[in-house]
Amino acid sequence: MPTPNLQKLRNFGIVAHIDAGKTTVSERVLYYTGKEHAIGEVHDGTAKMDWMAEEQERGITITAAATRIRWIDHDLNLIDTPGHVDFTAEVERSLRVLDGAVVVFDGVSGVEAQSETVWHQAEHYAVPRLCFVNKMDRGGADFDRSCDSIRERLGARIAPITVPIGAADTLAGVVDLVRREAVYFRGDQGSDVVREPIPEVLEVEMEVRRADLVETLADFSDEIAALFLDGEDPDAKTLARALREATLKADVFPVLSGAALKNMGIQPLLDAVVAYLPSPLEARPIEGHHPDRRDRVEVRKPDPKAPICALAFKIAMDPHGDLTFVRIYSGTIKQGQGLYNPRLGKHERAMRILRMHANDREALETAVAGDIVALVGLKQTATGDTLCEKGHPIALEAITFPEPVISMAIEPKSAADRDRLEEALTRLAREDPTFHTAVHDETGQTIISGMGELHLEVLKHRLVSDFRVQANVGKPRVSYRQTVRGPAEAEHTFQRLIQGKDQVATVRIRVEPAEGGSGSAFRIDDSLESVHPKFRPAVEEGVLFAAQGGLDLGFPVIDVMATLVGGRTHETDSTDIAFGAAGGEAFREACDAAGLAILEPVMRFEVTTPAEFVGPIQSDLARRGALVEGEDVRGELRVIRGTVALVQMFGYSTTVRSLSQGRASYSMEPAGFREVPAAVARRLSFE
C-alpha cells in the first residue's frame, strides 16, 4: 500500500444542535463526492449516515457514523455526529480525534443550546472550525442575524466568506466573497456549480462585505494588514492563504451559507474543508506521557514509519466481532498485528482492519498515521485507551464524559431473560461510556443510568431489538450525587488475616472541595515518603472506587480532591489489597468528617415559542422553580433561556405543546449540579 499524502488528508466532523440540518448536509456531501448515487433524506428514513433502525424511526442521529470520501484530489474522513444532548458523548469522543469541524447552524434560529455545547467541546480540543448557516430557504431565515448570534453567544471572531443571494423563497445561490463570484447550483440535484459575475444589484453590498473580510484578516496577517493600510485590494489567492492561517490557529472562523435540503451551498463548503481545515501534519501535536512516569512527556508525529500510537475512541457492537474505532496518530497497523494497551498492561490483536462507510465496511491490509479505521479482535480495550508498541509505550489523555443525570430500575421479565439481560447491559455499557449499570446494595435491583429520558428509551428498545431481551423498567429518576462541604482528614488502618496471611496498611487521606464539574480526583503529597510508591496506585484505586460507589446514601461523590498525605508501610505484611481497602475507608471517614451535601443535576433550557404564548410558558417555568436568565427575539419567535432542576422537567414536552397549541419547542443540556433544597435532602436521607 503506498504511503498516503498526509498533506491532502482531512479528518473532520459535522456537529450541530438537533434539527439544524446536520445529517442533511452530510447526505449531500456523500452525493456530491460520488460516495452515494442517490441523496438520502432524514424525513423518509433513507439517510445513509443514520443507519440504525432507531435513527430511521425517530428521524434523529443517535450514534456517530464515519465514512471516507474524496474531493479535489483530497481524501476526507468524515464523522457525522448526533445533535441531541442525550448523545453528546458521541460528539465528545469524535472531536477528541478530529483535526477540524463544520458547525451547522439553523438560519432561522442561529445559535441554539446544543450549538453552544458542541462549540465549547471543540474549543476544549482546540479544533479549528468552519461555520455553515443552513436552512436559508426557510421563512424567517436571516444570515446576518445568525452571524450576530455566533459573535455574541459564542464570542467567536467570524469571517463570512459565502453570503446567500436572497432568502426563503427568493434564495438563488451564494456569493463567494474571496473570489468575487456569484455561485449557482443547477442541473440534477444541484450538481452543476455555475460561477458568474456578481449581479449588479448586489455589487455595492458585496464589496462592503469583502472589505469587512479583509479588515478582519488584517488583524491576523501582516501581509493583509500591509495591503489594507496601503489601500490595495488582496487577490483571491492572498486572501485565501491568510484565511487558512487564521483558521488553523482558531483565530478566525469562516462562515458559509446555503440550504442543504434545496441542494445549495454544499460544494463551496467542501471546497472550504479542503482549503481551510488542517491536514494531520498541521494539526496540533499529539502528546502523552510514559505509562510508568507521568512527568515524562511523549510526543508522536504523524509519520507512518514511527512507532505506533493510536487512540480507541469508540466501541460498537457487531455480530461478527465488536468494532474498535481508532485514530492512528503515528506508525502503521497491519492486519493481525499485536497492539499493546498500557492501561491494561496487555497485548491485543487486530485481526481485521476496516474502513467504515456508516454500517458498510471495506477490508484493509494496513492503516497508517492520520487515518481513522475500525479494528476487529480487541476484546478488552475500552473507549479512551491508547494502543501502542510495548517497546515504545505512550499513554494519551483519556476522554472524559459527563456524569449520567437520570436512572431507572430494570428487571428481566423471566428467568430466561436474566442472563441475557446481564450480558446485554455489560455490552451496552462497554459501547456507551455515559451508560452506567449498578446493583442497589439494599434492594438488589439493577439500576441503569444515562444522559436523559430519550437516551434510556433508546437503550431499552435496543435490549429488545438487538438482544431479544424482555425487561420491565421503572419510572425515570434523577441521579443524585454528593460532595464534601469543606476540607478534612482521616487515617485508617486495615489489618486482617486473609487466607492465612496478614494484610496490613495504614493510609491518611485529606479531602477538600474541587472545582464544579471536575469529578473525583486523587493526588499524592509531594513530600510523602511513608507509603512505598508501589502501593500508591492501589490507594488511588481504593479511593476512586469508594467515591464512585457512594457513601452513606449510595450517591457517587463528585467535585472532591483526595490527597494521600500519610500512612505506614509494614515491612512484610503490606499488600495492594490492604492499601486499597485502607485508602477507601480513609476516604469515607474523611468525607464524613468534612460533611456531605446532596447534589441534583441542573439543566440549561431554551424554549422557542410564538410571542402570544410567552406568558403561560413563563408562568409554568416559574412554577417549576426555573431561573429565567433572558429572552431573545428571533423574527416572530421568542426564545426563553434559563436553568432548572432536571427533576422538575420530566414530561415537559407534553406540557409545552399543550400551552402553545403545539407550536413551541424546547431543548435542554446539562449545566452541572447544585445542592438540593433542605426538604429534599431530608427526604432522600430517609428513603
Q: For 548, which DSSP code? A: H
**Which pLDDT belongs to residue 264?**
96
What are the DSSP calls for 128-183, one per residue? -EEEEEE-TTSTT--HHHHHHHHHHHH---EEE-EEEES-GGG--EEEETTTTEEE
**Which pLDDT belongs to residue 664?**
85
Cα gap 197→176, rounded to integer Å:
10
Q: Which of 60-69, 346-355, 644-653 has the highest mean pLDDT?
A: 346-355
Decide if pLDDT at 296 tops 70: yes
Sequence-ordered alpha helix ranges (H) in 389-431: 415-431
Are 638 and 614 in contact by the 8 Å Cβ rule? The answer is yes
Decide if pLDDT at 586 tops 70: yes
**Which pLDDT belongs to residue 62?**
63
Fill in the amino acid letter for 359: N
The predicted model gives 356-361 an average pLDDT of 81
Sign of CA dihedral 294, 300, 305, 309: positive
Share of the chain above pLDDT 70, in %: 94
Decide if pLDDT at 84 tops 80: no
| Residue-wise pLDDT tens digits, 629-648 | 988 887 778 899 999 998 89
Of the listed ranges 1-10, 28-37, 271-280, 656-665, the one predicted with least confidence: 1-10
The predicted model gives 662-673 an average pLDDT of 83
| Three-state DSSP class for residue 81 | coil
Are 133 and 148 in contact by the 8 Å Cβ rule? The answer is no
Name the pTM for this structure. 0.79
| Residue-wise pLDDT tens digits, 422-446 | 888 988 888 888 888 887 665 567 8
Quick one: which H or E segment has residue 192? strand 192-196
The predicted model gives 200-227 an average pLDDT of 94
Quick one: which H or E segment has residue 666? strand 665-675
Decide if pLDDT at 87 tops 80: no
